Structure 1
Amino acid sequence: MAYTIIEVERKTGISSRTLRFWVDKGLFPYIEKDEKGVRYFSEKDLQWVLWIDCYRQIGMSIKDLKDYIALCAKGKNTAKERLEIILSLKEKTLKDIQKFQAILKKLDFKVKYYEKMTKEGEDKLNPLSKNYKKRKKRLKL
């Protein structure tokens, strides 16, 4: 089965504009075109689309993606290099998760604070508020 960019957009939720950008950057070297220049994605190409989206979401650059795709095209002899790339991406992603968990913890604090403020009607952390109270111990941010 072959899919147009619009059909790929509908199936994946990735905009056709983004898909065209990726195609123009060479991230799908095996996409077929008809005589009118319409691009067609195969089922395997759809899997590549999802992987490229994943890699882009975790910050992989277009250049690094192109290098990775070139390694893939060379076959199993590059498996070790590709594994190292994936392990590096995994490590970076785990660090990002830890960073976002810390941010989420801070946001949870703010949510509780504002819920309490809306319930009690007092803003004890605003220095311009009549209810402002200096804290004896520092807030953990």
Structure 2
Amino acid sequence: MSGYSIDQAAAQTGTSKHTLRYYEREGLLAPVAKAPNGHRRYTDDDLGWVRFLQLLRATGMPIREMKEFVALTHAGDHTIADRVAVLAHYREALVARMEADRDHLDRLEMKLDYYRGVLQAADAEPEDITRRERASGQPARS
């Protein structure tokens, strides 16, 4: 029997053997075929499912909802509209997180630029910064 051992499947998907067994046990992954010696043998389709489950998990989808999504998939094509709705919901949440992260990054960059400017000014003319601080009565802003 051909296919991938659990070690190979774990390496190819970047997940642990424990997670692969867990996905199968929880019904997220269809029962994996076994070789005559009883060892799991994963197919390319199995690995594709694992990668899709990783994607769902990375969106923040809880295991419970992943199980519901897998059940919709197994129920047939009449559930495609429901699947689209679920994925669209997680897409919207992901886009919102990305926008918030972009805002955080922009604000962090502004602060870094400020501090780098302070360091450059201090390296160039340390006495000028000290004079400005004395004149204002306050240390440089953080």
Report 1:19-30 matches (<5 A).
19-30=20-31
Q: Match for 1:84: what amino acid?
A: A
Partners of 1:116 and 1:21 lie apart in 2 by 52
Larger CA Rg, structure 1 vs 2? 2
User: Cα RMSD between the aligned structures?
Assistant: 2.5
Q: What 5-or-longer segments of structure 2 have no aligned partner?
A: 130-137
Structure 1 ranges of 4+ moved more than 4 A: none
Instruction: Note closer, same or farther for the CA distance 1:17–1:106 as it changes in structure 2 (3 Å cut).
Output: farther
Q: Is 1:48 paired with 2:56?
A: no
Map of 2:63 onto structure 1 = 62
Partners of 1:75 and 1:101 lie apart in 2 by 38
Q: 1:131 aligns with which of 132, 135, 139?
A: 139
Map of 1:103 onto structure 2 = 104
Instruction: Note closer, same or farther for the CA distance 1:28–1:107 as it changes in structure 2 (3 Å cut).
Output: same
Partners of 2:113 and 2:63 lie apart in 1 by 41
**TM-score, structure 2 normalization:** 0.75
TM-superposition CA deviations, 1:65-112 (whole Å, max 9, x none): 111111111111111111111111111111111111111112212322
Partner SS, residue 100 of structure 2: helix
Partners of 2:101 and 2:28 lie apart in 1 by 29
The alignment covers a number of residue pairs equal to 128
Partners of 1:75 and 1:21 lie apart in 2 by 24
Do the aligned residues in 2 keep the contact of 1:71 with 1:78 (CA within 8 Å)?
yes
Partner SS, residue 65 of structure 2: helix
Aligned-pair identity in percent equals 26
Map of 1:137 onto structure 2 = none
Map of 1:116 onto structure 2 = 117
**TM-score, structure 1 normalization:** 0.76
